[in-house]
Amino acid sequence: MRALFLILIFTNIFTSKLFSQSGFNSEGMEVTKQDLELNVYENDSTARALVIYEFGKSYVDRETFRLNTEIKKKLKILNRNGFDKATETIHLYTPKGINKEKISKIVATVYNLEDGKVTKTKLDKDDIFEEVYREDQTLVKFTFPNIKVGSVITYSYELESPYMFKYKSWYFQDDIPKLHSEYRPSIPGNWEYHIKLVGGKKLYMNFSEIRKNCLHASGRGSSDCGDYIYIMKDIPAFIEEDYMTTKQNYLARIEYELKVFRGFDGRVDNITKTWKSVEGELKSDSSIGRQLKKSGAVKDLLSDDIANIKDPLEKAKAIYKFVQSNYTWNEEFSIFENVSIKDLIDEKSGSVSEINILLHNLMDVHDIEVKPVLLSTRRNGLATKIYPVISDFNYLIVQITVNDETYLLDATDNYLTFGQLPFRCLNQYGRLIDFKEGGYWIDIFPESLNLQKYLGQFSIEDNTIKGQIEGTSSGYHALITKRKYFSNEETYLEDYYVNQNNDLQFLSHSSETTDKTSPEFKEIFDVEKPVDVVGETLYINPILMTFFDENPFKLQERTYPIDFGFKDTYLYTAKINTEGYDVIEFPKQASIGLPNNTGTLLFNTNVEENSVVIYFKFNFKEAIYDAGYYPYLKNYFATIVDIEKNSLIVLKKKP
């Protein structure tokens, strides 16, 4: 207790100092005049709103044995863009039956400074609404009254939950900055949790102590509680940016996963299991294990032409093509429920699990070594590796092995090349399930070439640069382009090129790619573009097709990884016939690289007799870059955009 007393003294000294520096009262719920007068947060001048103080307390009620959480917040509206924070939405789990989450004691007050005086407007109970979000979820919404720029809002409410399997998580970070975020959970010894601090930010305070006899069951015993104090201060806003997976991977928070429950009657339930025990359960599960054994249902699905193929790799490709072409994904994942291979065969449409389990069973029946793989998609977040959490997974693919080579397959998309996964699946790793030998983690990083390339041949006629561009895309670039092209060939050119290149005139377009599953997509454009002319001098930007219109990286600092999903290469070359002109000026050479040889950029101009040759190539040799690379990547992209927009060749007509 003496140590806690000293810590709290230090905390008060520190917060008083913080208060004097920021001007906001981040020590509690009291609203000061300075809270109302200040409309800028010095540490983030772009912030639209600011959490000055928030406090949460979770505990198990001694009477009801339910998990109660008390929440208090003090929020500042800094400008009109912060008005979206004037509405609070709370999700409640409300399945059919009596075990529903509840909310109570909603209290809110809006403070404003009007003519030098502090006014208060309280939330009316009639302004609190409930909305059915899903069959098992209810939204409780309330909008704070009399909101203005400069308003300070204080509000509080209490939650009650019968579900202890996942203790109340606490989010220290949001899309607006916070000065003080404090959480005080109290956990009885009956429940033992894995406690995980996510997001990489350090706690200002991390304190715990044991409190005796916090929970008592009459005639059956009592339990001690672990009381915790977690505090973070000066938490920056989490700003989403391009090239990231779900923000759930990175938001600073504390999460709980139930490991063991100990009843007062001596019963012990080990909730967290080993992968061996989980695979045992999956093996007998009606939606996974039993469906993976349904060989009889698929035995006669294939034609003799496929079944009689001798080469195992060619047979595997033919089986994959058969499933890919004949069964349609219904846009549902549903990997652990309502999975029926029979229904898929009958209806020709089904979930991810149904389609890929059918693929698995066909491979297995035809003697192709195959295993299912569970993974979590990019939007779903990274699966926990420390211990099995089946609810982390939302997707199923298969891995086959042919001639000692492994291939990851997903037949839900009829544009995919054999061995290519949808972009949504590129989330670092998955869990291979092997009911006989035991499963293991596998990496999910595509190794195939991903290239976007344009090759141009141009001449100058009547103050216009005109010629032909050959475009080639491969890997994931081809996947994107094929989907655009084959979904509507008639409007493809206008939708994806004409509307994005206002100055460039597209005279014709053709493609020699006819197979939706081709690893490459090739196309040819006939183009022309007027050039700037001053007297006898022509000014030409030789980069007629660009890769990036603007720098995707705009933050001062990024604290989470840059995740492209795959390694990448871009190439633009152009040869411009300059017969009849003198080359007065041409772009300077540029060459830069990313640290540790993880990317290189080269831009070069060669002036030859009657021609200028442009060579522009850059690549990304890693699929994922640590946040430390952010300033280098930001500069890298700035250079790319500058070259594309500002390269200039100056020509003058020969006498």
Pairwise CA distance, residues 579 & 277, whole Å: 76
Which amino acid does the sequence have at 43? Answer: N
Which architecture does CATH list for 451-653?
Answer: Sandwich (2.60)
pTM for this model (two decimals): 0.89
The listed CATH number (2.60.40.3140, 1.10.3720.10, 2.30.30.100, 3.65.10.10) that belongs to domain 21-270: 2.60.40.3140
3-state secondary structure of 93: strand
Parse the chain into domains and list their residue ranges.
Answer: 21-270, 276-444, 451-653
Residue-by-residue DSSP string for 471-483: EEEETHHHHHHHH
| Beta strands 191-198; 451-461: pairing state | unpaired
Output the pLDDT for position 22.
Answer: 66
User: For residue 327, with 0-12 CB atoms within 10 Å meaning exposed, 13-18 middle and 19 or more buried, which class applies?
Assistant: buried
The angle that helices 476-487 and 489-496 make with each other, rounded to 10 degrees, is: 120
3-state secondary structure of 19: helix
Pairwise CA distance, residues 67 & 62, whole Å: 10
Output the pLDDT for position 297.
Answer: 83
User: SS3 for 502-521, per residue?
Assistant: CCCEEEEEEECCCCCCCCEE
Which amino acid does the sequence have at 238? Answer: F
Residue-by-residue DSSP string for 305-370: HHHT--SHHHHHHHHHHHHHHH-EE-S---SSSS--HHHHHHHSEE-HHHHHHHHHHHHHHTT-EE
CATH code of the domain occupying 276-444: 3.10.620.30
For residue 525, what are the CA distances in angstroms to 473, 497, 534, 546? 14, 10, 28, 14
For residue 378, what are the CA distances in angstroms to 181, 194, 395, 423, 563? 28, 24, 11, 8, 10
Residue 151 and residue 222 in contact, taking contact as beta carbons nearer than 8 Å = no
Pairwise CA distance, residues 614 & 579, whole Å: 16
Strand ranges of the sheet holding 87-93, from the earlier edge strand across to the other edge: 87-93, 137-143, 128-134
- Going from the first residue of the chain to its last (655 residues), give the mean pLDDT of each consecutive group of 10, the final group possibly shorter: 41 44 88 95 94 98 94 97 96 90 97 95 95 91 96 98 93 97 97 92 96 86 95 96 95 94 89 89 88 86 94 97 96 88 94 96 95 97 91 96 96 96 97 95 91 97 94 96 93 82 86 95 95 93 94 94 97 96 95 98 95 97 97 98 96 91
Q: Which helix (H) or strand (E) holds 634?
A: helix 630-646
Pairwise CA distance, residues 463 & 530, whole Å: 6
